[in-house]
A = this chain, B = another copy of it.
Amino acid sequence: MSDGLIATELFPDRLTGELAQRVLAMGAGKRLPSERRMAEELGVSRTALRDRLTHLESLGVLERRTGSGTYVRGVRPDTVTEALGLGLLASHLTFASLYSVRVALERQAAYEAALAGDPVKTAHMAAAVKRMEATEDGQELYEADVAFHRALFTASCSPALEFFADALSGVLSRSVQQRQQHIMRMTGDIGHMRQLHRDIHLAAAAEDPERAMRAVDSHFVWLDQGLGGGRESG
């Protein structure tokens, strides 16, 4: 309802819009009536209803559990991930172009995280850096790295940034080679890597947006250099 958006204008299909409205009315986690019941209530066949439910499920708003029921869940980035994955497969969206989106998002996240200046959330970034400093194992470094960047997006206090970042990493991390390359790279120059992440955190903690952005840029420059065309999530 907010911002002048209404469900019926988002979906050209009447039935879908009606369903969406119902779904959004009840909070996330709630269970919808059974298909047979809803079909009767809405005056349509179960076939038609299931068609719309499938659509909403594809959008990530619903989750259907066989034998249990259909549940509302918050809009999740999975759908976007699938769409992007298809785009990749269709070789319409290239890997490099997706990567550049990631850079853009991360830079903005750093900027907003510094603006927000939430000490609790930036502490999570610090924790991830600490994990990096406590190990030299490639796998653990990788996990700490993932944790750090997730913490960064959380610290941005921008749900949409987080949403898109999740959707992207879903695609970017699916490629095993990329992940391997990533680990190899990180184990190559651990000290520098730690420094770069520390810089991002410090800039955010110091509530210096411009410096945070530059730190992120440095981080990606480091990722780019030496790897040539092969880019990765980082």
Contacts and interface: CB of A to CB of B under 8 A. Distances in A.
Contacts of A177: 3-4
B161 A101 contact: yes
Interface in A66-101: 74-75, 79-80, 82-98, 100-101
Contact of A75 (B2, B9, B86): B86
A99 B60 CA distance: 22
Interface residues of A, number: 64
B5 A161 contact: no
A171 B5 CA distance: 9
A123 to B, nearest CB: 22
* Interface SS majority for chain A: helix
A82 B80 CA distance: 10
A72 to B, nearest CB: 9
Contacts of A60: 83
Interface of A: 1-7, 9-11, 20, 24, 28, 47, 50-51, 54-55, 57-61, 74-75, 79-80, 82-98, 100-101, 103-105, 107-108, 112, 158-161, 163-164, 171, 174-178
